[in-house]
Amino acid sequence: MEAMEAILGRRSIRKYSDKPVTDAELKRLLEAGMAAPSGHNRQPWHFVVVRDRATLLEIPKFHNYSKMLEQAALAIIVCGDSELDGGTGFWVQDCSAATQNILLAAKAIGLGAVWLGVYPNENLVKGVKGLLHIPDKIQPLCIISIGHPMEEKPPANRYIQDRIHAGSW
């Protein structure tokens, strides 16, 4: 799949088949995440991969928008490491770039995915950290729900000319 096709065709997919995501597919997604740009090349990310059905079923108990995890083959929790970040605060941007790369890679290899925000909601951060035993220095940014799609959505045209300002506002 061409890069622009993946970018413009990527949509949030919330319905999945019961077909598992292979280890090779998972590795490609994680490679894509780790290929993201990062401030000062600090690469402050960690990725928690959750395939365990019981754990996936716990997340909707505290994250109201994560019901699709009940069908997902897996979830990737993208986390930022404050020590690797060096106190710059860029971990949020860096991990967001890694998340977008994973979403685009999922589309490119025929998987469906959706970004579920966690940070900066304190209750969601606490829920994810507690469930997955994430250390204090690590902040979960988001959960990516992933599986083989059972729905197809057409590309969305989100281009808005009025949001473009040439030279100054």
The CATH number given to whatever domain includes residue 56 is 3.40.109.10
Instruction: Give the total number of structural domains in the chain.
Output: 1
Q: Measuring CA to CA, which residue among 38, 42, 123, 111 is closest to residue 75?
A: 111
Query: Would you state the pLDDT for residue 54?
Result: 98
Per-residue pLDDT in tens (0 to 9) along the chain, 169 residues: 899 999 999 999 999 999 999 999 999 999 999 999 999 999 999 999 999 999 999 999 999 999 999 999 999 999 999 999 999 999 999 999 999 999 999 999 999 999 999 999 999 999 999 999 999 999 999 999 999 999 999 999 999 999 999 999 9
- Cα distance between residue 148 and residue 3, in whole Å: 20
Task: Give how far Cα 57 sits from Cα of 49, 51, 69, 76, Å.
Answer: 14, 11, 7, 14
Cβ neighbours around 80 below 10 Å, total: 24
Predicted TM-score (pTM) of the model is: 0.97
For residue 97, give its domain range: 3-150
Report yes or no on 63 lying in a domain.
yes
**Tokens linked to 103:** 């979403």
Q: Measuring CA to CA, which residue among 77, 85, 90, 91 is closest to residue 30?
A: 77
Q: Residue holding tokens 């990062």?
A: 38
Report yes or no on 7 lying in a domain.
yes
